[in-house]
Amino acid sequence: MTNAESIARTVHADHLRRGGAPYITHVQAVVDKLKGESDEVIQAAWLHDVAEMSSITVDELIAAGISREVVTAVVALTHINHESNENYWGMIKRNPIALKVKVEDMLHNLSDNPTKYQVLKYAKGLVFLLSDEFVNDSQSREDTHEY
């Protein structure tokens, strides 16, 4: 088990999905869809919801042996409170690791009995992320530096 997987399993140990399934099953499904990708992509997939669902910090991830490249992707994948979806998706779109993870995350969320609101949100997000348009249409966060 990698450090990233161990962190994800620890953080999500008590979390549940909408239907009551253990949350880690969602994370595992995203990882499984990315099999064959680089180690950095797989680690980011394991960690893609960790910062949003825990108090873990960038420094703690680095101290745990997570590379700065992966941490930068995890930061991009972390939706900050009150941040517009367009700004959030813009951060992801500019990070190739985060982009691969977020597309699979959204696709898995769409396959798991989403609400009408979620279908519309993820559809809009996928169009934004996968289209050649919108590249420079979003404002970037101030914390876009690498870690």
69-82, pLDDT tens digit by residue?
A: 999 999 999 999 89
Which residue bears the tokens 């669902």? 53
How crowded is residue 6: how many other Cβ atoms within 10 Å of its Cβ? 12
The domain segmentation of the chain, as residue ranges, is 3-130
- Evaluate if residue 10 carries a pLDDT over 70: yes
User: Which overall architecture, per CATH, does domain 3-130 show?
Assistant: Orthogonal Bundle (1.10)
Instruction: Provide the mean pLDDT of the chain.
Output: 91
Where residue 138 falls among pLDDT bands split at 50, 70, 90?
very low
- Bridge partners, 13 (sequence order): none
pLDDT in tens, 56-112: 999 999 999 999 999 999 999 999 989 999 999 999 999 999 999 999 999 999 998
| pTM reported for the whole predicted model | 0.89
Rounded distance, CA 147 to CA 145, Å?
7
